[in-house]
Amino acid sequence: MTKDPDWWRGAVIYQIYPRSFQDSNGDGIGDLAGIAERLPHIASLGADAIWLSPFFTSPMKDFGYDVSDYCDVDPMFGTLKDFDRVVERAHELGLKVMIDLVLSHTSDQHPWFKESRQNRTNPKANWYVWAEPKPDGTPPNNWLSIFGGSAWQWDARREQYYLHNFLTSQPDLNFHEPAVQEALLDVERFWLKRGVDGFRLDTINFYFCDKYLRDNPSLPKEQRNDQTAPAVNPYNHQLHLFDKNQPENLEFLRRFRKELVPYGAAAVGEVGDSQRGLEIMAEYTSGGDKVQMCYPFELLQPGRVTAAVLGQTFDRLAKAAPDAWPCWSTSNHDVVRTPTRWHLSDAGMRAYIVMLLSLRGSVCLYQGEELGLPEAEVAFEDLQDPYGIEFWPEFKGRDGCRTPMVWDMDNRLGGFSAAEKAWLPVPAEHLRLAVNAQAGDPASMIEHYRRALAFRRLHPVLKTGDMSAVTVDGDLATFTRSEGTATIFCAFNLGDAPKTVHLPEGTWRSIGMEIGCAAVDGNKTMLGAWGYALAERA
């Protein structure tokens, strides 16, 4: 494949959750060989790249986001040879391959941590964030874990606390230690040499914490939101000034970017912050010397993205850094599936994907999104996610969006596995939405996605063009995309009431009829509930 260094700009990236995509050996758990088998499905959608959630060696306390060996494949998923086959097959199909690097923390079973916790003088003693207790024996500060409780865990061997922003079994690496940075850059080099085209960087703004371990200030109740953690989690009660988002991260990201350049590779960072997500994204992607893309949580939020929210989001982004490059997503492995989360009808789902593909930036799609899968109801006794188990029943965790992909409507497990039981149950209501139930039906969700992605490819201005400010009129959001001599006017009615849309002066012609766009009559169009229109300047 030709290594276009800008392949990522405007790319559509399809996220695969390996445990739930395809099981090739009948153990009820998805694997790399299964992924290689199903890649033609992703290519047929018109995606440009895949993103693989973690498949590294891990005790699986957080399902691979607790890594014990960065440079090997967990036997549950196969071998390095299987991974090489995924890369080879993807490239044959014209797909780039991005893998999920979890650099902010490791598993407590990682050899680095096993050595670090032995005593205070070993060669890796400073590789993790260790701190003395307060005089009364309590943790060194008030930092909280996203998974509940203090972010500090006592270790009797060192008689110190170690930092864990997530599970106690996920100790945070100390990025203030130069040897840690170099070791992680070695991990990056290992996978680049193995043929990957880029990385999704988990919790990219958590890499550094404040070297002085200062307390976070409290956050007034009226300023709290649940974009980063569920509302029942006291994590939302703090303004996270010191446990993440530190300025030292910028220089590390520059070092990371330099390693990407010779390979024409790219990185997209996950920015988890409820107050400054867009501004941090702007810092991390602007200037052309850090990561190419980041995605914040503004379009992944629990509340529906209204026209007003869309306008505010792009206004903030324009003020923070006009040259920043976002990667938008409304769905992933950590949030309730979009149709359920936003209470969307089929018409609403169709409108949102066309809107997503019309925004300036790249796009991530999550497996099953193209089928219109709703959130699965998972009984407490079937839960696997420690997050859900901790906060049940007010927060049911992330298992409902991680259930297996459904390929075959006539198969009890949806064609995912030949096992008697999958690692998570396959809901009966998902079977009717399986790939083979929808493929070839022009009215189906999957065919709508295929047409929408093809339309974006047909109009490069939607991939890489400039974007005007978003104009908001109630539920109506309008904007233009322009590049060279091409200009496309975009209008989306994100509500139930009909709206009349007046286009800017000039001559416009209707486009996008194949993806459900309303026709334009001169400089005017009528949009019904969840209607949308795209028009090209003649």
Encode pLDDT of 99-133 as tens digits. 999 999 999 999 999 999 999 999 999 999 999 99
Mean pLDDT of 190-208: 97
Residues 278 and 204 in one domain: yes
Among the candidates 456, 491, 524, a domain finishes at 456
More confident residue, 44 or 275: 44
Residues 382 and 522 in one domain: no
Residues 391 and 442 in one domain: yes
Residues 402 and 514 in one domain: no
Q: What is the pLDDT of residue 391?
A: 85
Residues 474 and 355 in one domain: no
Please indicate, yes or no, if residue 292 is contained in any of the structural domains: yes
What size, in residues, is the chain? Answer: 538
Question: Which tokens hold the place of 364?
Answer: 């991530």
Residues 439 and 473 in one domain: no
Over the stretch 450-503, which tens digit does the pLDDT of each residue have? Answer: 999 999 999 999 999 999 999 999 999 999 999 999 999 999 999 999 999 999
Over the stretch 244-276, which tens digit does the pLDDT of each residue have? Answer: 999 999 999 999 999 999 999 999 999 988 788
Burial class of 27 by CB neighbour count within 10 A (0 to 12, 13 to 18, 19+): middle
DSSP string, 311-375: HHHHHHHHHH-TT--BEE-S--TTS--HHHHTT--HHHHHHHHHHHTTSSSEEEEETTGGGTPPP
Q: How far apart are CA 433 and CA 408, in angstroms?
A: 9
Catalytic residues: 202, 270
Mean pLDDT of 288-313: 94
pLDDT reading at 227 higher than 70: no
Please indicate, yes or no, if residue 525 is contained in any of the structural domains: yes
Mean pLDDT of 507-517: 98
518: domain CATH number is: 2.60.40.1180
State the pLDDT confidence band at 79, using cuts at 50, 70 and 90: very high
Please indicate, yes or no, if residue 245 is contained in any of the structural domains: yes
DSSP string, 199-257: EEETTGGGS---TT-PPPPB--GGG---SSS-TT-GGGGB--SSSS--TTHHHHHHHHH
Residues 493 and 417 in one domain: no
Q: How far apart are CA 210 and CA 176, in angstroms?
A: 9
Among the candidates 425, 456, 487, a domain finishes at 456
State the pLDDT confidence band at 177, using cuts at 50, 70 and 90: very high
Residues 413 and 444 in one domain: yes
Mean pLDDT of 51-77: 97
Q: What is the pLDDT of residue 386?
A: 86
- Please state the domain count of the chain: 2
Q: What is the pLDDT of residue 226?
A: 66
> Model pTM greater than 0.85?
yes
Percent share of the chain, pLDDT over 70: 99
Residues 231 and 89 in one domain: yes
Please indicate, yes or no, if residue 83 is contained in any of the structural domains: yes
Mean pLDDT of 129-140: 98
Please indicate, yes or no, if residue 89 is contained in any of the structural domains: yes
Please indicate, yes or no, if residue 528 is contained in any of the structural domains: yes
Residues 202 and 238 in one domain: yes
Please indicate, yes or no, if residue 303 is contained in any of the structural domains: yes
Residues 206 and 267 in one domain: yes
State the pLDDT confidence band at 233, using cuts at 50, 70 and 90: confident
Q: What is the pLDDT of residue 225?
A: 77
Domain that holds residue 497: 465-537
Q: What is the pLDDT of residue 231?
A: 76
Q: Which of 407, 413, 346 is nearest to 374 (CA)?
A: 346
Q: What is the pLDDT of residue 1?
A: 44
Mean pLDDT of the chain: 96
Among the candidates 456, 487, 508, a domain finishes at 456
Residues 360 and 396 in one domain: yes
Over the stretch 320-363, which tens digit does the pLDDT of each residue have? Answer: 888 889 999 999 999 999 999 999 999 999 999 999 999 999 99
CA neighbours within 13 Å on the CB side: how many for 381? 0
Please indicate, yes or no, if residue 5 is contained in any of the structural domains: no
Measured CA distances, 340 to 20, 250, 314, 330, 407 (Å): 19, 37, 25, 12, 21
Helix, strand, coil in percent for the chain, rounding step 5: 30, 20, 50
Mean pLDDT of 279-299: 92
68: domain CATH number is: 3.20.20.80
